[in-house]
Amino acid sequence: MARLPAAPPSVGGPRREAWAWAWASVDDLLAAEEMDVVHICTPNATHADLAGRSLAAGKHVVCEKPLTTTVAESRRLRDLVGASGLIGTVPFVYRFHPMARELRARLAGARIHVVTGAYLQDWLPRPDDTDWRVESALGGPSRAFGDIGSHLADLVEFVTGDRITWLHALTSTVYDGRGGRPVDTEDLVVVLFRLQRGALGTPTVSQVAPGRKNALTVEIAATDESLRFEQEAPEQLWIGRRHGSELLLRDPGQISPEAARLSAAPAGHPLGFLDAFAGFVGDTYTAIAGQAPDGLPTFTDGLRSAVVVDAVLQSARSGAPVDLEPLPDSAPPSSIGAGYGKE
């Protein structure tokens, strides 16, 4: 076992030594009694094995998305965590922006007509841009949708409290090869979907959109209002009305208690991705302590995401629409906190 020296003082705090340890193998790491939680941040194809072994070793698991690269593996992990009594979470971290919670709170009970949205990035537009995600053997059979479309689909189901039950997808791969290696995953996805309660949706996902860095947007039109959340402007929510549209700011006097709960800093101190991530980690530890924070993404949500990603690929490959069953054994996202840890 190799153990690194303590972390530099700047890391600070009573837990600084834990930050600095390293082990020669995964087995050594999992045998360490002082460790309670494993956060799996490795390439996607390694998640199933590492998460399964971590649970078998009695560790709580934070497993990065996608939980796994196949529906069967995600189902196995969901069942394993359910049988273990341990906590398993997946960082669908955009749920933790306060104004995304505000969007969800304002949609409760609304009749939703249309969901438009996009997740656009620009780190792969050139033929020499590449990454392990490009190869299905490491990243999984879906790249753009599995990597970022999964966040968008999770957010849509989370804020609407509804499920995608029908979809038709088109995908496109811009280059046959990147960095001298063949490409067998998609760069672009356009989807048509229907939610269980009847709303229609048209998300677009791209990793070849010059100028768009991490442009996750969701706009939802209900009867009297349209609501729009933009991940790159997370301090505000656009509320569109036939008369009198407005930009709602993250001000404690005008946001829901759940949005206020996740506000890591007072209004006027802008929050970002790292604050959302800290909110996710905080709620994971709350769950480990035995409570049930609302909206914490579980391995059931990871499985649900695998089902949606798989349906997108099936549809793109067959050229036909796909019907999706809401998972018979999962709560709708709006009540995901109830029964947490018993899944």
Q: Which residues bind ligand NAD (CB under 6 A)?
A: 41-44, 46, 64-65, 91, 93, 132, 147
Q: How far is the CB of 53 from ligand NAD (least distance, A)?
A: 11
Q: How far is the CB of 339 from ligand NAD (least distance, A)?
A: 24
Beta bridge partners of 222: 112
Q: Which is nearer to ligand NAD, 64 or 219 (CB)?
A: 64
Q: Which is nearer to ligand NAD, 149 or 203 (CB)?
A: 149
Q: 3-state secondary structure string, 65-115?
A: CCCCCCHHHHHHHHHHHHHHCCCEECCCHHHHCHHHHHHHHHHCCCCEEEE
Q: How far is the CB of 57 from ligand NAD (least distance, A)?
A: 15
Q: Which is nearer to ligand NAD, 64 or 251 (CB)?
A: 64
Maximum distance among all Cα pairs of the chain, rounded to whole angstroms: 66
Q: How far is the CB of 162 from ligand NAD (least distance, A)?
A: 23
Q: How far is the CB of 41 from ligand NAD (least distance, A)?
A: 5
Structural tokens at position 119? 């997740």
Structural tokens at position 271? 């929050």
Q: How far is the CB of 278 from ligand NAD (least distance, A)?
A: 13
Residue with the two structure tokens 């509320």: 239
Q: Can you list the positions of beta strands (E) in the chain?
A: 37-40, 60-63, 88-89, 112-120, 164-172, 177-178, 181-182, 188-195, 200-206, 215-222, 226-230, 236-240, 246-249, 322-323
Residue with the two structure tokens 């599995």: 146
Q: Which is nearer to ligand NAD, 61 or 93 (CB)?
A: 93
**Rounded distance, CA 60 to CA 35, Å?**
9
**3-state SS class at 58:** coil
- Residue 241 CB-half CA count within 13 A: 8
Q: Which is nearer to ligand NAD, 94 or 193 (CB)?
A: 94
Q: How far is the CB of 134 from ligand NAD (least distance, A)?
A: 12
Q: Which is nearer to ligand NAD, 64 or 294 (CB)?
A: 64
- What crossing angle do the helices spanning 71-84 and 299-318 adopt, rounded to 10°? 170
**Rounded distance, CA 25 to CA 46, Å?**
14
Q: How far is the CB of 154 from ligand NAD (least distance, A)?
A: 10
Q: Which is nearer to ligand NAD, 71 or 222 (CB)?
A: 71
Q: Which is nearer to ligand NAD, 97 or 250 (CB)?
A: 97
Q: Which is nearer to ligand NAD, 101 or 168 (CB)?
A: 101
Question: Measured between alpha carbons, how far is residue 207 from residues 23, 94, 118, 133, 155 in Å?
Answer: 35, 18, 11, 11, 18
**Rounded distance, CA 98 to CA 130, Å?**
33
Q: How far is the CB of 50 from ligand NAD (least distance, A)?
A: 7
Torsion sign (Cα): 269, 271, 276, 281: negative
Q: How far is CA 50 from the centre of its chain?
A: 19
Structural tokens at position 257? 């208690």
